[in-house]
Amino acid sequence: MPKAVYPGSFDPVTKGHLDLIMRASRIFEQVIVGVLENKAKMPLFSAEERVKMLEEVLSDCDNVRVLSFEGLLTDFVHMVGADTVLRGLRGVSDFDYESQMAAVNQDLGSVETIFMMAEPEYSYISSSAVRELASYGKDVSRYVPCTVSDKIQEKIKKIQEKECVHYEQPH
Ligand code: ADP
């Protein structure tokens, strides 16, 4: 199959995402990881930081590209010359939302969605759980690549230091 876009927030990229990308890279000629900027969701990492982390961990995969995008997914899919979206399913709980999105993307831009099941050993990992655990000082290196785990710790430390300064010096 020629080209698929794997869209998401990747805030941050987890071992579950990576496993899916590696498996997809053996099926598709090219996989484009589309990092949704999503400023309204106040992501932990900026889109540039998320793209950089993904590029670092995927540097050995010749047929995988990482790009950020804003706006409608179907526009991005057409812009990069693809017509297929790839999404991961961790279980039935993902299915409701994903089937709705797939129908909208089909209707809006004739974009097909292909689903791949998460590996059972990664199926309970989510970026939001990783962020939550890290904010309580827990080690998340089982869930994310080690370069990413270092960056999460740095980021959380910076945020907590900033909050501390605000708390100590109220206006
Ligand atoms: P979104 O904000 O669009 O849900 P995510 O970054 O959370 O984006 O996820 C991007 C894609 O990766 C989605 O299709 C999601 O279902 C899938 N995904 C998330 N976590 C895992 C995992 N542990 N294993 C496999 N796929 C996953």
Summarised one tens digit per residue, pLDDT across range 34-77 is 999 988 889 999 999 999 999 999 999 999 999 999 999 999 99
* Protein residue with least CA distance to atom 21, ligand 1: 16
| Catalytic residue check, 141 | no
DSSP state of 40: G
Residues with CB under 6 A from ligand 1: 8-10, 14, 16-17, 20, 87-88, 90, 94, 118, 122-123, 125-127
Average pLDDT, the chain: 93
* DSSP secondary structure string for all residues of 87-155: EEE-SHHHHHHHHHHHHHHHHHH--EEEEEEPPGGGTT--HHHHHHHHHTT---TTTS-HHHHHHHHHH
Instruction: Give me the pLDDT at residue 111, please.
Output: 96
Ligand 1 nearest atom to the CA of residue 125, by list position:
23
What does the pLDDT average to over 91-110? 94
